[in-house]
Structure 1
């Protein structure tokens, strides 16, 4: 079923919480005449990248880093924010050099992904990085990240690990694997 988008009558912005998050309140009218107020977190910055770095056709490089939200070390993909003036491809190459110590000669931006589209407008760009070469840039991590090679045909084992729980990383690996099957 195709529906007309709700009419936005007003958007009110405010800062909320200890981190001064930008919250937007939308005064909406739906096609059936119902009016509601929805709240959404407004993204800061220019979005983020989630990088699937392939050291060869069958092996992705994961990084293990401290995750404050769950207070443990987590395996995941290289990821980070897009700085002002950067494209997703440029941000992916920079983050790859900072976190994993590799640059990429071939970068494909596959798609954007949302974190929680019902209440956030934040976008992460899924980027495939191939033809890697060693190059390290200083990053903002407090310690060097461990780089862990993982075979793409063993994603079924990775997805069940306790220390691999970040949804963007999991989704990105499956999207990239399927994309590679049709576009390698």
Structure 2
């Protein structure tokens, strides 16, 4: 009796389409589109003739737009040469766990409330609610400490932007106080 050795059959590897193999080109295309939009907007911007130095308001958008185009081009070359992004290794992210929609919805609600309240009550109050609400949504349960820290952060942010940097923020009822 002679037996012929049997070899285990291995399934043929799946052939991925060319687009699936080079999916990072989508990121490159997105960067290209954003870069063209930024450059177009920067170059068609109307600027006052009175400029106070060599760097005008067009400089930063032109540099950012050109940088986006360069990154898009270099990324496309890398992908076409076989470069691939690494799969998500995550720090302590368990990709098998479902999304925490409660946290996402709480944060979305806090941001929406901030957008609605910033006009009527001003930045200091709306910002304090934003900071406290974000801390609560992300899991902090220090109900005495968090509102105080949120109020301090909001007031500090308001004073720095409004008084020191000259970026006007709506003050609401605190407009005359600070």
- TM-score of the superposition, structure 1-length normalised? 0.24
**Structure in which a larger fraction of residues adopt strand:** 1
Larger Rg: 1 or 2?
2
**Structure in which a larger fraction of residues adopt helix:** 2
- TM-score of the superposition, structure 2-length normalised? 0.25
- Give the number of the structure with larger relative contact order, counting CA–CA contacts within 8 Å between residues 6 or more apart: 1
